[in-house]
């Protein structure tokens, strides 16, 4: 598998020249792995990090312009994506993942805003109904991250469940996001389904010198937690707000963490449409 874009390959080669000169030993190896892991995670979050930084900074200050913040974010997201492709910071397959996430996310946004689950309190020209078009890019940030870590960390899987089963479960989760407004909420059954399906599954990834492994259920929790933190930043800057935040900001409900956890399953399945899961082969 081609792990890096051409620019990333040059960065990686330079990093190896530096890192290989560092002392060896249990503590030194562990420290290097930790630092490189953080740097690679930050690189994988490049699109999401730029979007979140833009939302946070414009929440602190926005000049008096004839341009709505939502429209500025939408234009900026398009420019960021164009630049990432032009400078080979992103592959075409990753751009496909981002487009898929954008479409799936926008569909959910149209329904959820109409149902009053959350609102976008500011005006915008680039919008569909009550949904500003930048919102689809917030889901695309998740897709960008999921696709990039597959490549940057050279992720493989052991005991990965059949893809068709994961697709059916992802479809059920997506439908429940809509149907629970009219019928019973089946999220607890869906949680059980995710646990049963992914309990044996393990992801294997390379940081620098060593390969590591992590249960996939734990990986879902960690990513969902970071998204929940990002959502708190987004609602604080009033990029969107929940009904209980109309009169002032309050922390996003912990129940949303469960929603993001289920979204992780949808995210993984959407990424597998472009990057099929690769089985782990033990290294000699």
pLDDT tens for each residue of 145-166: 998 998 889 999 999 999 999 9
In this structure, are residues 271 and 97 in contact, taking their beta carbons and an 8 Å threshold?
yes
User: What is the crossing angle of helices 216-236 and 255-274, to 10°?
Assistant: 120
pLDDT for residue 275 is more than 80: yes
State the Cα–Cα distance between residues 88 and 140, nearest whole angstrom.
18
Q: How confident is the prediction for the chain on average, in pLDDT?
A: 89
* pLDDT band with cut points at 50, 70 and 90 for residue 174: very high
Identify the sign of the CA torsion 227, 229, 234, 240: positive
pLDDT of residue 21: 78
In this structure, are residues 47 and 81 in contact, taking their beta carbons and an 8 Å threshold?
yes
pLDDT of residue 205: 94
* pLDDT band with cut points at 50, 70 and 90 for residue 133: very high
State the Cα–Cα distance between residues 59 and 4, nearest whole angstrom.
34
Q: CA of 129: how far to CAs of 89, 107, 117, 120, in Å?
A: 33, 12, 15, 11
pLDDT of residue 166: 95
pLDDT for residue 4 is more than 80: no
Q: What is the pTM of this model?
A: 0.87
Q: What is the mean pLDDT of residues 155-178?
A: 94
* pLDDT band with cut points at 50, 70 and 90 for residue 16: confident
* pLDDT band with cut points at 50, 70 and 90 for residue 284: low
Q: What is the mean pLDDT of residues 71-91?
A: 91
- Residue-range domain boundaries for the chain: 6-274
CA 169 to chain centre: 19
pLDDT of residue 3: 66
- Which of 97 and 166 is assigned the larger pLDDT? 166
pLDDT for residue 23 is more than 80: no
pLDDT for residue 257 is more than 70: yes
pLDDT of residue 190: 95
């Amino acid at each position: 598998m081609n792990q890096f874009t051409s620019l990333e390959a040059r960065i990686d080669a330079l990093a190896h020249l530096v890192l290989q000169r560092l002392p060896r030993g249990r503590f030194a190896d562990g420290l290097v792995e930790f630092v490189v892991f953080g740097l690679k995670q930050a690189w994988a979050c490049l699109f999401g990090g730029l979007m979140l930084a833009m939302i946070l900074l414009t929440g602190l200050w926005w000049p008096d312009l004839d341009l709505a913040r939502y429209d500025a974010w939408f234009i900026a997201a398009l420019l960021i994506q164009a630049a990432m492709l032009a400078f080979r910071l992103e592959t075409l397959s990753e751009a496909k993942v981002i487009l898929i996430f954008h479409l799936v996310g926008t569909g959910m946004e149209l329904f959820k805003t109409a149902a009053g689950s959350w609102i976008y309190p500011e005006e915008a020209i680039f919008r569909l109904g009550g949904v500003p078009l930048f919102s689809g890019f917030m889901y695309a940030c998740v897709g960008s991250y999921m696709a990039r870590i597959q490549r940057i960390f050279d992720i493989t899987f052991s005991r990965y469940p059949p893809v068709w089963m994961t697709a059916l479960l992802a479809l059920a989760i997506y439908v429940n996001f809509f149907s629970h407004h009219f019928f019973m909420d089946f999220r607890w059954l869906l949680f059980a389904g995710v646990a049963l399906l992914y309990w044996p599954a393990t992801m294997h990834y390379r940081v620098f010198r060593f390969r590591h492994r992590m249960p996939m259920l734990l990986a879902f929790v960690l990513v969902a937690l970071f998204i929940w933190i990002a959502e708190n930043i987004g609602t604080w800057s009033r990029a969107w707000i929940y009904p209980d935040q109309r009169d002032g900001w309050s922390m996003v409900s912990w129940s949303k963490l469960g929603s993001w956890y289920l979204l992780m399953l949808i995210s993984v399945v959407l990424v597998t449409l472009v990057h099929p899961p690769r089985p782990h082969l033990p290294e000699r």
